[in-house]
Amino acid sequence: MKIGIIGCGNMGGGMVAQLAGAGMDVSCFDPDMDTRARMQTNGATVFDNVQDMVAGQLVIILSLPKAQIVEAVMVEIAARIETGAIVLDTSTSTPATSQAMAALGQKHGFDFVDGPVSGGPAAANSGTMTMLLAGQPSAIDRLRPVTDVLTAKTVMVGASGAGHAAKIANNMLCAANLVLVAEAVRMCEAAGVAPDGLLEGVNAGSGRSGVSEVNFPKWVLNGAFDSGFTMGLMRKDVGLALELAQQTGVNLDGFAGIADVWLNQSTQIDDSADFNEITRHGAET
């Protein structure tokens, strides 16, 4: 199967390595020359021009930073995509963008599928990501040889746009849990409870979350802060949750204070820092 990947950084690069390792014919485009060079070592055919890269591909995977870039790239390449091809968008985008790109696909004769992913670069490099899929069921079925290589779990969540709505909700909860678990740890430390003991108890009870089970032991308590996902990216996702709530007329009163921590109260933490560093906010007070 011929597969083209656009955006071959931390996540896209892991997908290139997994697909090439599974014997698939993988091509890639990335604007960064150093990244393109690394992809050659991962077994990909590298293109300097995205339009040339997409021609003849049966599956095109997008791994891009934000919705505006997804839309710009799609407008640039739509006329060059093969009739009957599938575009799988693994970026964290917006439901409205996915719906618009699905309509663009109908116009040009290809399918556009939401496929945002969770698990970070480590999961991309090991083929153990979780992928939220939305779009035409027939197109999703045809993607199975690809998603079986890239993921440990796929979840069908609905029609076009539903995948990105679900991913925004997932990251909203992760952002909230990072702040809340950090506060719980500080409260219990002040009461004489060691963080390791607290987390063991929480993770055996109803308060557990991915943050308490994975983030804190893997990246926070040991001071590693090297998950591969940045403060800037999570701040973007927090903003996407607020925008989606506004568009849908849903109040996020419970999340508002946590969003303010991410967007306004933690400006001393640079966008380039690991997103788990938000747990340090408030530690000095």
Active site members: 167
Please count the residues of the chain. 285
> Rounded to whole angstroms, what are the CA distances from 155 to 92, 115, 117?
16, 9, 10
Report long-range pairs for 155-158 (Cβ below 8 Å, ≥24 apart): 155/130, 155/131, 157/114, 157/132, 157/133, 158/134
Whether residue 142 contacts residue 86, with contact meaning beta carbons closer than 8 Å, is answered with yes
What are the percentages of helix, strand and coil residues in the chain, rounded to 5? 55, 15, 30
Count CB atoms within 10 A of the CB of residue 246. Answer: 11
Dist CA 81 CA 60 (whole Å): 9
Count CB atoms within 10 A of the CB of residue 267. Answer: 10
Integer Rg of the chain from CA: 20
Dist CA 15 CA 26 (whole Å): 10
Strand partners, 111: 86
